[in-house]
């Protein structure tokens, strides 16, 4: 899908669902990482993450466009356009727009090496990302001596 096709789709959705014209620009922005789209207050552009088109169907794309158009139309009307505003929540409901998009970035697993320590008295285990000097610390439960396990 090109930027021109996206522009036409946004204009059509705006007229069909909101019954108001979309008079600004809609573009793809590949620098967006975790969000499906955004509405820019400064220039009234709507930017869409191109990964939405690659990963999901057109229904998800339309949902993201409707969500951003809610921000757009409410902001231009001077009403509450932020996620927590009542006007925004009502418009989301009346247009059947999603509150959030599906995840776009895979969650990174924490691959840092964990250091495991154990209390010699009560057996309580402690996991740490950084090494610690066992001679400076005691168990928080029984004040027993701590040793490094792994």
Question: Of residues 11, 59, 68, 77, which has the active-site annotation?
Answer: 68
Give dist(CA 122, CA 142) in Å, integer. Answer: 7
Instruction: Mark whether 68 is an active-site residue.
Output: yes
Give dist(CA 128, CA 112) in Å, integer. Answer: 10
Q: Is 67 left (phi over 0), alpha (psi -120 to 50) or beta?
A: alpha
Which residues fall within 8 angstroms of residue 106, CB to CB, at 6 or more apart? none
Is the dihedral angle over the CA atoms 72, 78, 82, 88 positive or is it negative? negative
Q: Is 83 left (phi over 0), alpha (psi -120 to 50) or beta?
A: alpha
Residues with a catalytic annotation lie at 68
């Amino acid at each position: 899908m090109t930027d021109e096709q996206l522009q036409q789709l946004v204009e059509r959705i705006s007229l069909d669902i909101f019954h108001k014209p979309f008079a600004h620009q809609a573009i793809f922005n590949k620098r967006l990482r975790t969000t499906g789209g955004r509405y820019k207050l400064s220039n009234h552009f709507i930017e869409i993450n191109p990964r939405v088109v690659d990963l999901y169907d057109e229904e998800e794309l339309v949902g993201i466009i409707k969500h951003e158009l809610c921000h757009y139309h409410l902001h231009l009307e001077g009403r509450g356009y932020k996620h927590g505003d009542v006007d925004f929540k009502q418009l989301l409901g009346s247009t059947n727009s999603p509150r959030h998009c599906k995840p776009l970035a895979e969650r990174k697993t924490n691959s840092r090496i964990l250091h495991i320590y154990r209390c010699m008295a009560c057996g309580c285990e402690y996991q740490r990302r950084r090494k610690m000097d066992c001679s400076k610390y005691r168990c928080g439960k029984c004040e027993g001596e701590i040793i490094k396990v792994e």
